[in-house]
Amino acid sequence: MSRPLRVAFLSWRDAAHPEAGGSEVYVEQMAAGLAARGHRVVVVTARPPGTPAGERVDGVVHVRGGGRLTVYLHGLLWVARHRRSLDVVVDVINGLPFATPLVRRTGVVALVHHVHREQWRMIYPDWRGRLGWFVESRVTPALYRRAPHVTVSRSTADDLVGLGVPARAVTVVRNGLVPRPSAGPRAEAPRVVVLSRLVPHKQVEHVLEATAALRTGHPALRVDVVGTGWWADRLREEAARLGVDDVVGFHGWVDDDERDRLLAAAHVLALPSVREGWGIAVTEAAAQGTPTVGYRSSGGLQESVEDGVTGWLVEDRDGLTAALDAVLGGRVDAEAAGQAARERAAGLSWGRSVEELEAVLQEEATRRRGRRRAQRAP
């Protein structure tokens, strides 16, 4: 057993947040896994309405405070107050950093799922988007130049190197998967599922447009949209505008059992995101034997989807529509792809991912202890 560490994760949200997504699942699994291995773990996040300021879940202490932007100040001040009692801080950078190197020269690990160049432009097409991308692409790499980086895919690792992070400083620790039993039979009628946070850069509109094009050829078509987010009302309006609101069901947040039932019933998962670090929805669908159609340009899907084997990667909206049509029309063997996806997902393990992250944290904690001993030496 390696030396127990005192670890803090700083993240803008945790899994209890109503807008939580794959990044929050990753932190939740890593934090709980580290705690189970004997480490003392704290997760510091924003505090959405209705959640306690502090609690312990699965051996992990949760500290909540601040909102969408003030969480960054809340997290930085918390680390400043506790910096001497922590071995390692994992700074989860989702576009904006917590800037922990301002209060700790060592003992910081940057966790980046993907870069946000396209998202900044889509959500803030004015000066705010340009400022956000300037901070992420210029300020953040300079601020964290001495910190080891962890990411979930080779694609994001390459993006980080392109922003100036040394390749030797980047470690890929992929998403795992909680084993889940098969949740039910495939639907007889053609069925597509979307599992995603409902925000602009997930581009769920592309699935709605594909539905409008496909429903004539597949009159029994049904589309299930699973997830929540601040873009949900706009998507419902778009479904009505396209005349597919009778075909598309918006389920909102559902528990794991219902999520798996909807994934198992679908013939294909549609994931048209502009950018994914890995795409945890891909492996959750794969666990139910459901293949994925997504965009090659999203980056991480090039690793979570084996093109032509566990799903299909396409170039644009027309390609998305054509691929969904091929699946629903039986022109490709979706059952074989689903079985291959299930087998590939079975090889993923959060336990192995926790061990890989633990190794990075131990190395950084050792570096910090060495530096502190050197500073105390006469």
Helix (H, G, I), strand (E, B) or coil at 305: coil
Which of 169, 68, 161, 72 has its CA nearest to residue 115? 161
What pLDDT sits at residue 375? 60
Half-sphere exposure of 262 (CA within 13 A, CB side): 24
* Residues whose CB falls within 8 Å of the CB of residue 26, separated by 6 or more in sequence, listed in order: 113, 152, 175, 280
The conformational region for residue 366 under phi > 0 = left, psi -120 to 50 = alpha, else beta, is alpha
DSSP letters along 325-357, please? HHHHTTSS-HHHHHHHHHHHHHT--HHHHHHHH
Q: How far apart are CA 142 and CA 127, in angstroms?
A: 21
CA 284 – CA 203 distance, rounded (Å): 19
- For the chain, the structural domain boundaries read 6-176+349-376, 191-346
Mark the ranges of the chain whose per-residue pLDDT is less than 70: 1-2, 369-378
Is residue 197 within 8 Å of residue 19, measured between CB atoms? yes
pLDDT of residue 118: 86
Neighbour tally for 224: CB within 10 Å: 20
| CB neighbour list of residue 299: distance below 8 Å, 6 or more residues apart | 114, 153, 155, 156, 159, 275, 276, 277
Which residues lie below 8 Å from residue 187, measured CB to CB, with a gap of 6+?
222, 265, 266, 267
Q: What is the pLDDT of residue 277?
A: 87
Q: Which pairing describes strands 60-64 and 54-57: parallel, antiparallel, or unpaired?
A: antiparallel
Assess contact for 195 and 281: CB atoms under 8 A: yes
Say if CB 116 and CB 97 are below 8 A apart: no
Structure tokens at 375: 């500073």
pTM of the model: 0.86
Encoding tokens for residue 309? 């084997």
Q: How far is CA 47 from CA 69, 72, 91, in A?
A: 11, 12, 17
- The angle formed by the CA atoms of residues 284, 289 and 293, to the nearest 5 degrees, is 70
Domains 6-176+349-376 and 191-346 share a fold: yes
CATH architecture of 6-176+349-376: 3-Layer(aba) Sandwich (3.40)
What pLDDT does residue 123 have? 86
Crossing angle for the helix pair 22-36 and 350-376, nearest 10 degrees?
A: 70
User: Using one digit for the tens of pLDDT, what is the confidence trace for 146-158?
Assistant: 999 999 999 999 9
Which tokens in the block code for residue 3?
């030396």
Q: Fold for 191-346, please state it.
A: Rossmann fold (3.40.50)
Output the pLDDT for position 371: 67
Contact 295, 320 (CB under 8 A): yes
